[in-house]
Amino acid sequence: MSRFLRLANFAGWPAMCGVLIAIVTLQFLEIREIRNSLGELIRDGETSQPDFFDAIARASVSVVSISATRVNVEAIERSGDDRVDLYLGEQESLGAGVIIDSRGFILTNLHVVDTLFDAFDATVTLSDGRHTPATVIAWDETNDLAVLHVNMDDLTPITVGNAGKLAIGDVVFSIGYPHNIGQSVSQGIVSSLNHDLDFSVSMIQTDAAINPGSSGGALIDANGALVGINSSILSESGNFEGIGFATPAGLAVGVARELVDEAIAGNSGYLGVLTGEALTAQSSELFFGVDNIRGMLVESVDEGGAAARAGILPGDVITAINDTTVVDDESIVMEVREKKPGDIVRVQVYREGRTLEFEAALGFGQAILFDP
């Protein structure tokens, strides 16, 4: 009997080892399967996280930096019984704006460009680094809005969303140029709606950071659509404290488009050239070696203006506009005065022995105030 037990014990060890190995193998396979399942869950969780990169990228190309020179009264001094002297000073104003039309119209806050005597002096810089002088063509003091115009190609207007569909808690992004450090994006939520406070219109409240330099910039939704124009903050310190306000996009863009239409109707086209005297046989011979060139010699062109954009250079001679022969500066003025900003004119010039023709899209000259 003891011999049988010894034999059984001897034969049972391999069997027990085999069972143990099988159990360990099964546990290993189960652990690996669980690990793979967890990995898939983690990956699924990662892919389900919202990705705002594309939305921000689409909107950011439409948000520009605005640098303006503000002229204000710095001091008042009485120099006599009936005389008071005002001392003016210049101050840099930084803000942002939003391209709303490929023709060069940019929406911003009036307080970004506002200055004494409406002496506007503003420069716009795009996200790609291009920059140009801008003309303030119209503004609305009630809603703190202004419209600028620039003569530039390849502009991308922002997509305008429906701020009326916003709900408290929706994710939003503020795009601007805070403290002149370059374009920057901050994330937040819609904190409250229909705030009027001291405003004349209901505003969108958000905790997305709106710092100095971000005024006039874009408040966009998770799809990259414009839902507001960043306007102001509520702060005791003067710095952002989590309470910012934006003008709803529908109102702001609607006002801007009305201002654009009124500005176009109320302004004559602007070519942007400074000409000298009309060429005579004597001056033609002096400048070009022949006595038969007639027209107006271009002394300078406005930077970024319609003429410069079309390719007209200082030293060219404007010989005709459309079908009108240019014999003096009045010929140019009368032909352009009949046109509106955005109209196309054909400008014929003499340059280095050749006659060239350019098409120029007229711009804006001085701003005209539209105060609804």
Q: Any residues with CB less than 8 A from the CB of 266 and at least 6 apart, and which?
A: 368, 370
Q: Match 């506009």 to its residue by tokens.
A: 321
Q: Any residues with CB less than 8 A from the CB of 45 and at least 6 apart, and which?
A: none
φ, ψ (nearest 5 deg) of residue 44: -60, -40
Annotated catalytic residue, options 62, 67, 174, 215:
215
Closest CA to 229 of 213, 252, 197: 252
Distances (CA, A) of 304 to 61, 308, 361, 362: 20, 6, 12, 11
111 is catalytic: yes
> What's the length of the chain?
372
Q: How far apart are the first and last CA of the chain?
A: 116
186 is catalytic: no
Are 235 and 243 in contact by the 8 Å Cβ rule? The answer is yes
Distance CA 14, CA 126 (A): 79
Q: Any residues with CB less than 8 A from the CB of 39 and at least 6 apart, and which?
A: none
Distance CA 65, CA 79 (A): 41
Annotated catalytic residue, options 101, 111, 121, 291:
111
Distance CA 358, CA 273 (A): 14
144 is catalytic: yes
Q: Match 């801008």 to its residue by tokens.
A: 134
Q: Which two tokens stand for residue 84?
A: 């008071």
Distance CA 203, CA 194 (A): 6
Annotated catalytic residue, options 140, 144, 221, 316:
144
Catalytically annotated residues: 111, 144, 215
